[in-house]
Structure 1
Amino acid sequence: MQLQMLLLFFFLTSPTLFTTAAQSKPQDLLRSSCVHARYARLCVRTLSHYPGPANTPLDLARAALRVSLAHTRRTSKFLHALSKGGAAAMSKRQRSALHDCTEQISDSVEQLRRSLDELQHLRSETFRWQMSNAQTWVSAALTDGDTCLDGFSGNARPDVKRRVTDVAKVTSNALYMINRLGQSRTRKSMPMHRPRPRPRSGLTISKN
């Protein structure tokens, strides 16, 4: 009897057990969310190391977008540097493809930034419209990556192809998380935010 009481006391007071239980819930959500992503292993790996919260589908969608945005920004900087200092040995056609690719990936950065901003300010009354915006912009970012590589006609430098392909994979996972969020959340469950003035310039998706 005394042994049972000691074991019960240990179970109730052990911080390790409670910490493990608390940590398992976000991990369970992450794995169940990533399991059907196109790049499931990459999804788990990149989001497991993300320092922010991962307690809800909205958390995961935001985290996936931040990962995609970070990878795309790094690739954009790489392409800009390559255009200035590493394009001399390329053919005229390859330099033109690199120039176009640099602009396209730069556009992807802006599209992903807009998508993340939309998810940061979701409102119940405009939820479906905002989700449509985010999905459209992330899809456009994916298209930019495909167009970038197509411009090289199969002759892209290995480092360019590797980086742009990496961006496409994490962006595909981000789009999957956004689509999953749209399916799992209802307007009534969304947090309320004060309306923000909408920018007059740039890409705007109709409510219709």
Structure 2
Amino acid sequence: MAAAPTQLAFALFSLLFLLASSATAAKHKDPQNLIRSSCVHASYPTLCLRTLSTYSGPANSSRDLAQAAVKVSLTRARRVSNYLTTKVAGKSKKERSALSDCVEQMATTVDELSRTLGELKHLRGETFQWQMSNAETWVSAALTDEDTCLDGFDGVDGQLKSDVKRKITNVAKITSNALYMINRLDESRGKNRLNP
């Protein structure tokens, strides 16, 4: 009769162990957990988590996250570029000059992020390192362009400067997070062989 409680306890323990194991396995496959663990060390973790958590595409691997981060950055850069070219007009000569330069810089940023996304979509094992180098270079250049846009507003005061600064700073933070995700993908290659 004493064997029955022992068997029941063993069966209960086994069931709990299986439930815990399946919960752990599900946790590692959950895209939200991948996003959280990936964003924790990004330059702007809260922004990273917010922008990637609402991303509607796949986010099941480091490669997916790098592509998603670049897509988000590209979308934001396009919005700001559109805003600068269609909704903003400079009043003074300095404002118009700064705005004109900024429009150029943002167009270049959009091009560089587009090229980066194209590279990330077509990663191949034999050219992986070269492609990652291209992606890192282009995103770094996009960050430089965004900074250069802001530099053009030195000596300009007023609402135009604060609006442009707010929008460009946001894009720069998202772009910085995209660069982090690309670097993370590059580093993970040594741990897990890429299967494009």
- Say yes or no: TM over 0.5: yes
CA distance in 2, matches of 1:69, 1:160: 17
Which is higher, the Rg of structure 1 or of structure 2?
A: 2
Deviation of 1:191 after TM superposition, in Å, equals: 2.7
Q: CA RMSD in A?
A: 2.4
2:194 counterpart of 1:190: yes
Q: 1:56 to 1:98 in 2, by over 3 A?
A: same
Rounded to whole Å, the distance in 2 between the matches of 1:188 and 1:34 is: 19
Distance 1:24 1:118, change over 3 A: closer
Q: How far apart are the structure 1 equivalents of 2:58 and 2:189?
A: 18
The structure 1 segments of at least 4 consecutive aligned residues displaced by more than 3 Å after TM superposition are 21-24
CA separation of 1:160 and 1:121: change in aligned 2, threshold 3 A:
same
1:187 Cα offset (Å):
9.6
Question: Which residue of structure 2 aligns with residue 111 of structure 1?
Answer: 112
Q: Which has the higher helix share?
A: 2
Alignment partners' CA distance in 1, 2:30 and 2:87? 43
Q: Unpaired segments of 5 or more residues in structure 1?
A: 193-208
Which residue of structure 2 aligns with residue 46 of structure 1?
51
1:78-113 CA-partner distances (Å, limit 9, x unpaired): 001135xx22xx211111110000010011000000
Contact 1:125 1:187 in 2 (8 A): no
Equivalence for 2:99: 98
Residue equivalent to 1:138: 139
For residue 154 of structure 1, report the CA deviation from its aligned partner.
Answer: 5.3
Structure 1 residue 25, shift from structure 2 partner: 2.4
What letter corresponds to residue 32 of structure 1 in structure 2? S
Kept in 2, the 8 Å contact 1:135–1:179? The answer is yes
Distance 1:180 1:191 in 2: 16
**TM-score normalized by structure 2?**
0.82
Deviations 1:110-167 (A, max 9, x none): 0000000000000111000000000000000000010001011053522211111111
In 1, the alpha carbon distance for the partners of 2:161 and 2:60 equals: 40
- Aligned-partner Cα distance in 1 for 2:62–2:56: 16
SS in 1 for 2:87: helix
1:167 has 2:171 as partner = yes
- Would the alpha carbon gap of residues 23 and 77 (structure 1) be closer, same or farther in structure 2, given more than 3 Å must change? farther
Structure 2 alignment gaps of length 5 or more: 1-7
Query: Sequence identity, in percent?
Result: 59
Number of the residue aligned with 2:180: 176
Note closer, same or farther for the CA distance 1:143–1:123 as it changes in structure 2 (3 Å cut).
Answer: same
Secondary structure at the counterpart of residue 153 of structure 1: coil
Match for residue 73 of structure 1 among 68, 74, 78: 78
- Tell me the distance in 2 between the aligned counterparts of 1:101 and 1:187: 40
**Cα distance in structure 1, aligned partners of 2:71 and 2:46:** 18
> Structure 2 vs 1, CA of residues 188 and 22 (structure 1 numbering), >3 Å: closer, same or farther?
closer
Structure-2 change in CA distance of 1:46 and 1:188 (3 Å): closer
Paired with 1:26 and 1:44, the residues of 2 have a C-alpha distance of: 12
Contact 2:112/2:142 (<8 A) preserved: yes
Q: Summarize the Cα distance change of 1:154–1:176 in structure 2 as closer, same or farther, 3 Å threshold.
A: farther
